[in-house]
Structure 1
Amino acid sequence: MTRLSALKSALLATCALLPTTAFAQQTLQTIEVVGVSPVQGSEIAKDKIPSNVETIGARELDHARAPSLLDSILQSVPGVSLSDQTGNAFQRDLNYRGQTASPVLGTPQGIAVYQNGTRINEAFGDVVNWDLIPEMAIARMTLMPNNPLFGLNATGGAMSIEMKNGFTYQGGEAQLFGGSFGRIQSGAQYGWNNGTYSAYIAAEGAYDRGWRDHSSASQIRRMYADFGARGDTTEFRLSFTGADNKLGSVAATPIEMLNQRWSSVYTWPQSLRLQMQMVQASLKWAPTDTLSVQANGYYRNYKSARIDGNGSEVAACDPAGAFPGEFCLADAAGTEFQINRNGPVANTLAANAALGQIDRNTVKTDSYGGSLQATSTTQLFGHDNHFVVGASVDHGNTNFQATSELGTIDNNLFVTGLGVYIDQPNAGLAPVNLNAKNTYLGFYATNTFDITSQLALTAGGRFNWAQINLRDQTGFAPLLNSNNNFQRFNPVVGLNYKITPNMTAYAGYSEANRAPTPLELGCSDPANPCLIDNFLIADPPLKQVVSRTIEGGLRGEVSGGSSAYAAAPPPYRKAPIKAVSVDEGWKLRWGLSLFRTENADDIIQVVDPANPVRGYFKNAGNTLRQGVEAKVDLTWNRWTAYANYTFIDATFRSAFDVNDPFLGAPVGVVSGNHIPGIPAHRLKLGAEYAVTDDWKIGTSIVYVGSQYLLHDETNVYPKVPAHWVVNLNTSYQVTKNVEVFGLIQNLFNQRYYSAGTVFDVGGFNTAGGGNAFAFNDPRSMVPGMPLAAYAGIRAKF
């Protein structure tokens, strides 16, 4: 019996027992609603969604329980794990069901992310910069798989982030916390309304010097403001989001170095600056009780500037060749060229000087767009019916520039620039200046029809049209120029059956697609590999990725004794922090689901066999991600507890060749090889106990299974080991409106790796024609953060 078959059998056996338990104690269930499209106003009861929808509210986002937005999501949502390509806690990857929402250019993006109905996957690369989102201003987050209405990149799911406003949050709050590694973070928010007009503002700042050697300090500055007005049938909102962040990065480091010193880094400096301003406007009109129209528009300005010290493929020219005594670059055929097409660069360095380069790139994007949507809840043939129809347009103008400055690498692996810029198009390494324009159109509709009071049918779909045009601005890279068009209709259909008032079964099928990004399109030629995320060279066609998902499961709740929950206040209403004693009532919420997603023409990143610092993107045939999710949440007297587990079997389903960075040669991937970077097992446990009405203590445990190294598609290298981390939290109510809290992350100071990759162990070229800093082990890892402690204070007014 396979692992997945065994889990299916266990799931079915468990499901057979659950209805009996559910009938034992039943109380009136609170109806939770979630939006079925990106635009707010499409809400429907969660029990009519044919997928495993997850919501995260104010309690889960509390800094007294987790130090950041991503940590809150990690603890709360089954199927989620975090990986770290940058070595920065503010810039981690969110992995969900084997798909990723990442801030790193070149990472395949399989999750669509929206803020108040606006897509915030950046236009160039579809990256998601989590650090740009004002955490304090978040009211609720919804993670929804199996729904193509969210447009491009929803192959693994979509996340919708709802921000606070003066109608949903009133009063003020300020908080300050800090601790290990120089971390200090503050934030304040205030909301107000008079019934007709509303205002809300939140501002946050953070500083963290990092725990790795030579880490550049991270500085976070972000804010959110919202102004609104509403009447009997209309509501208008205008909001602004802004951020100006400086982020230090310390990426993967050879495991041989980490064995000597856990905080060591490979090459540096590495830093990133992100700036963003976004204005959003929305209008809701409800002429009747059953019909509403929603419209929104936005403008977003985004800038990123990256500095990255690396090794260099520049080498001393062949003394017997055409350019003795100079620095050269070689093309794929081994022909040498001067590193600057404008003239010779003399090699005057010491023979043992290790050669490096400082790669710099900038992205500047102006994007704008909007959506128009109508929602009707008019009955159809005497049955409840929920119909949503809408359209959206997103347009982005991006300028991408990149340069590479020749440098030397000292014994601390610091790269010092020499003021000489590499500019040799014949060898595929030259300054890049590229304009990219992308236009995305979407038309969607969905309908949920109550066949009976227990059975609901959902059917709908979305048509996506994407145009991506690339134009070289240097005049030396004509192969970059291209016009690319992609289009597809993605259907969705599902059933929900209410077995009891407190238990629902669901099953659904959907399709989704993602278009290749400008970065992937500009670096897809095996004959002209490029420095990933720094340089673009040529633009052969890539196919769009198409996913097909089947999902089914059960969800419900069981409760007993007296209930303390029916009268709970809305989650964002102003209320004193002071805890209230609860009675002996208990409530157990649970969910079980099976899912299977097959991607056709999946895009992967492949290294160049002749030069592992370069690579390209290619379609790699079909991939499969299938698994099971299970969760339980318990509230009983002074206890709250949760447990969730996810198993994911992620494999390639097609045979193809890739290049091994260590061997420097092509190797064959066969159907059944596991996809790198996706852990098979994820387990989260947590509990909190109210010692008194004022004092709470809690703990959480996160276990992440082993995973194959990135670029190990053939599964021949040792895996990134499994790891577990224990965290503690406590809070104490000093007065009615003042609370102090503390956190300990990685209580037992576990040494673990959050990500890993295969790399070239050959070291760096030297000015004398040799090499330096060579290694034996091809594994390069990102070490997890050691024990860290934080304390803070919060006041409401």
Structure 2
Amino acid sequence: MRRIRARSLFIVPASICLFSGNDIARAEDPPGAVQALPPIVVTGTKTGVKRGQTTGATRIARTVPRLVVYPTTPLSGPGSGIDPEKVPASVNVVDANQIKQAGSLNVSDALQKYVPGIVVNEVSGNPFQPNVQFRGFVASPVAGTPQGLAVYQNGVRINEAFGDTVNWDLIPTAAIKSVTVVTNNPAFGLNALGGAIDMQMKDGFAYQGAEIDTMGGSFGRIQSSAQWGKQVDHFAVYGALEGLHDDGFRNFSPSDVRRFYGDVGYRNDGNEFHLNMGAADNRFGATATAPVELLQQFWGATFTTPQITNNRVGYVNLTGKVEATPSWTIEGVAHLRVFDQKTEDGNPTGTQPCTTDPTLLCFGNGSTPANGLNGAQLANPFDPSATLGEIDRTTTRSTTTGASLQATNTDQLFGHGNHFTVGTSFDSSVTHFSALPELGTIGPNFVVSGSGIFLGQSGNPVSIGPVALRTTNQYSGLYALDTFDVTNAFSITGGGRFNLADIKLEDQIGSALNGNASYTRFNPLIGGTYKITQGVSAYAGYSEANRAPTPLELGCADPARPCIVAAFLVSDPPLKQVVSRTVEAGLRGSSEVNIGTLGWKLGVFRADNTDDILAIPSPVLQGFGYFQNVGSTRRQGIEAEVNLKSSALQLYASYALVDARFLDALQVGSNSPFADANGHVQIVPGDRIPAIPRNRVKAGIDYSITDAFKIGGDALFVSSQYFVGDESNQAPRLPSYAVFNLHASYQIDKTMHIYARADNIFDNRYATYGTFFNTGTVPNFANGGAPFTDPRSISPARPRALYVGLKATF
């Protein structure tokens, strides 16, 4: 057993939440609903029904404060909230009405629409499994993507244990009350290098009534959601169901989504307890990138299928809040999550007839034996004219349990306002991972047909074969934060988090994958805010964050023994943890103007990573790769946003610049056409990091023509980006793109509401992600079997699509 004792500093996750759902105006509370509100009102909204709003039971606006909780479990209330003007970082909040306005069961669509620094790409080839990128850091469902964002649901971290992946398809979008994108706070622990995305869910205290929403349209899309909430005395219940089918615009890309979320709550005398649970069972045709030569002939083309993902999850959380004294609040959460994923992935193969004896199979070259499961060299049963491929199947099953406890105090300190938070957490995950490759042939439609012949340990050194691995992740931490009001205008915040991460790998077949790794670190935070005028404030802050290498990365980190990323693990040399140091500053403000409320913000940031981890493609074997520390990288930029809100008109516009670069000279393996004879490219300081567009521009408008009839539109521009694999910045970039969408709605009566949406109205053919592939592994069957000549492979975006829906609110 190889033991890795990397003693370094690391912060790990907690069941915490920086921004409370209470900071969003509860536009979904019924008249007369009983609700405990925090006593300090920072800002309010006008009561009553505004022009363009409906009058259904779940659509009445109420006066509530805007409070930020920093950080805490999901049940934040009196004593926990602080003024958002005292947060020394950028604050981005998307509420339930904005999520609904996006008209999608993908919460990522609302995030891309309303958060300046976020862009979404479909590296997986499926809209329900997107990469969400914020400031150049990614939360992705694709195993093998170096993750940089922590994602929380009701205070529970939902990055999956094995690869820190985020499966956005498992999140019940209709049940979301608010989403907050958090920056510059180490309290969010593990993997919050670029920040954290926190989702607060609805309950029967905040949502009462019933709603059924059904929509259908282009590419066979049909979806429906239903939600219901009710309060009886001190008890409340809430439930949401969602179902969706979409054929997809690409070959072999159907999607089926089934999700449930429920909550039972009790509230009395400032104390509150909830039991919430959820489940999902989804299946996707994840078609990934395709060669540009195929897409030029048919925009829905795919390459080497099947590529199928089945995701299932079940979870239960118990949360509680007790007001111990008028100034002390105790909150806690215990959670259990079971995640199960199965994938089928058709690929080219390194298996080929041996050079000296074509009746036998070799792997990686013409002389190294390709072995079966019994260790003996495989005979070659395939026709000499056949193109060989393989179907790689994986199974990942993770069980995660954890608990956290937090105390908040709001007593004055030396006669000044003070908000103190201290907490601790422990999370443990056990994952069983297995992988098995089946040889087959690739047909003229690029579909791999299995042969029933399974590939055993093969390669020199061993690069592929069956895998059975058990991993254990244990993360524990202690954090404290304090916000002190030096004056009525000036507040300072300080604190930090100390965490320990232990990761254990146990090979279930042999011993090559065995290993232990431990990481510790203390991450500090210091910052301040100053209220320049009643409507304008400034902020500045410095923080550190980090993540440990995941079990997936530790199991595939040897350049000499690359593996099919996320499938076949072969070695575990030590990787260093990544540490991010972030500084940001900005101005924000709001004011009343003649036609409504004008809000704006302008900020700058810089995040420097040391020992950053990158997925490196193998220069020798197509589809293989490994993980490597690549020295220091930097992501810096500007974020600007302005919005105008009135009873009849809503406008918003934003701009984000993200400049992401390597800071060290480095030679790495690459599948770039500009790689040298050994398959390497040379990174020099200042080269841009691939797949991170530099500029993002967003704008939108909603206008109420009458009280019942609304129209609107939005636009997105994303600038060019380098292809993944082009770390040396030598190849032409993936082109920029702009997409425009329209929507309209009409309130038929108090109950019925009809709406329509048109996406990509100009039918722009663009791609959101690009990489390279080996043009010699598979013939271009669409061109008579001639070789491919263009190594570019991209993820095409959805063409023009039209949708119509009907919503009933009771």
Cα deviations by residue, 1:273-310 (Å, 9 ceiling, x for unpaired)? 00000000011000222210001000000000000111
Structure 2 counterpart of 1:93, one-letter code: N
CA contact (8 A) 1:64 1:741 kept: no
Q: 1:393 aligns with which of 408, 411, 426?
A: 426
Q: Is the 8 A contact 2:507 2:514 kept in 1?
A: yes
Deviations along 1:399-450, one digit per CA (max 9) or x if unpaired, are: 0000000000011111000000000245321100000000011110000000
Give the match for residue 657 of structure 1: 667
Q: Establish whether residue 787 from structure 1 lines up as the match of residue 800 from structure 2.
A: yes
Query: Number of residues paired by the alignment?
Result: 737
Aligned AA (1:218): S
User: What amino acid does structure 2 have at the position aligned with 1:104?
Assistant: V
Q: Percent identity?
A: 45
Confirm or deny that 1:33 pairs with 2:67: yes
Give 1:479 shift. Answer: 2.2
Pairing 1:329–2:363 present: yes
The residue aligned with 1:709 is 723
Q: List aligned pairs for 1:767-782, cutoff 5 A.
A: 774-782=787-795
SS at match of 1:616: strand
Match in the other structure for 1:491: 524
Could you tell me which residue of structure 2 aligns to residue 212 of structure 1? 250
Question: How far is the alpha carbon of 1:342 from its aligned partner?
Answer: 3.5
Counting only pairs closer than 5 Å after superposition, residues 63-102 of structure 1 correspond to structure 2 as 65-66=103-104, 68-102=106-140
Q: Of 741, 751, 757, which residue of structure 1 is paired with 2:765?
A: 751
Q: CA deviation at 1:38?
A: 4.9
Matched to 1:278, the amino acid is: Y
Provide the C-alpha distance between the structure 2 equivalents of 1:241 and 1:447, rounded to a whole number of angstroms: 34
Q: What does residue 191 of structure 2 align with? A: 153
In 2, distance between residues paired with 1:780 and 1:710? 10
In structure 2, distance between residues paired with 1:330 and 1:726: 46
**Of residues 587, 609, 626 in structure 2, which corresponds to 1:599?**
609
Q: Which stretch has the larger CA shift, 421-430 or 94-103?
A: 421-430
**Mean alpha-carbon deviation: is it higher for 229-238 or for 381-390?**
229-238
CA contact (8 A) 1:369 1:392 kept: yes
Query: What does 1:551-630 correspond to in 2, within 5 Å?
Result: 551-561=584-594, 585-630=595-640
Q: Which residue of 345, 348, 357 maps to 2:378?
A: 345
Q: C-alpha separation between the residues in 2 aligned to 1:342 and 1:665?
A: 30
Say whether 1:53 aligns with 2:91: yes
Question: Is the 8 Å Cα contact of residues 39 and 116 (structure 1) preserved in structure 2?
Answer: yes
For 1:209-608, what aligned pairs fall within 5 Å after superposition?
Answer: 209-215=247-253, 217-319=254-356, 324-330=358-364, 335-426=368-459, 427-475=462-510, 478-561=511-594, 585-608=595-618
Which residue of 1 is the match for residue 689 of structure 2? 675
Q: CA RMSD in A?
A: 1.7
CA contact under 8 A between 2:273 and 2:318: conserved in structure 1?
Answer: yes
CA distance in 2, matches of 1:789, 1:710: 32
Q: Is the 8 A contact 1:328 1:339 kept in 2?
A: no
Question: 2:369–2:458: 8 Å Cα contact kept in structure 1?
Answer: no
Shift in alpha-carbon separation, 1:773–1:602, aligned structure 2, 3 A: farther
CA contact (8 A) 1:594 1:627 kept: yes
Which range moved further: 231-240 or 489-498?
231-240
1:701 to partner: Cα distance: 0.1
- Whether the 8 Å contact between 1:233 and 1:287 is mirrored in structure 2 is no
Further displaced range: 121-130 or 36-45: 36-45
Q: Distance in 1 between matches of 2:388 and 2:572?
A: 30
Amino acid at match of 2:545: A
Shift of 1:59: 1.4
The answer to whether residue 682 in structure 2 is matched with residue 645 in structure 1 is no
Listed one character per residue, the Cα deviations across residues 528-584 of structure 1 (whole Å, up to 9, x for unaligned) are 1111111100000000000000000011112124xxxxxxxxxxxxxxxxxxxxxxx
Q: Which residue identity lines up with residue 668 of structure 1 in the other structure? A: Q
Partner of 1:573: none
1:167-186 to 2 correspondences below 5 Å? 167-186=205-224
Q: Give 1:619's aligned amino acid.
A: N
1:345 is displaced (CA, Å) by 2.8
Q: 1:173 to 1:434 in 2, by over 3 A?
A: same
Q: Secondary structure at the match of 1:89?
A: coil
Asked whether the equivalents of residues 38 and 160 of structure 1 are also in contact (C-alpha less than 8 Å), the reply is no
Instruction: After superposition, give the CA deviation of every residue in 1:443-474 in whole Å (9 maximum; x if it has no partner).
Output: 10000000000000000101121000001001
Structure-1 separation of matches of 2:252 and 2:225: 28
- Normalising by structure 2, we get a TM-score of 0.89
| 2-structure distance, mates of 1:552, 1:773 | 55
Letter in 1 for 2:795: V
1:116-131 matches, within 5 Å, as 116-131=154-169
Q: Separation in 1 of the partners of 2:368 and 2:359?
A: 16
TM-score of the two chains, using structure 1 as the length reference: 0.90
Q: Which whole-Å CA distance do the structure 2 matches of 1:622 and 1:722 have between them?
A: 27
Is the Cα contact below 8 Å between 1:64 and 1:730 reproduced in 2?
Answer: no
Matched, 1:761 2:795: no
CA contact (8 A) 2:689 2:727 kept: yes
Which has the higher mean CA deviation after the structures are superposed, 663-672 or 123-132? 663-672
- Structure 1: 4+ residue segments shifted above 4 A: 27-31, 63-67
Contact 1:763 1:775 (C-alpha < 8 Å) held by counterparts: no
Relative to structure 1, is the Cα distance of residues 248 and 694 closer, same or farther in structure 2, using a 3 angstrom cutoff?
same
SS across alignment from 1:479:
coil
SS in 2 for 1:764: coil
Distance in 1 (alpha carbons) for counterparts of 2:799 and 2:370:
46
Q: Counterpart of 1:730?
A: 744
Structure 2 match to 1:197 = 235
Structure 1: give runs of 5+ residues left out of the alignment: 1-26, 562-584
The amino acid that maps onto 1:288 is T
Give structure 2 stretches of 5+ with no counterpart: 1-41, 46-64
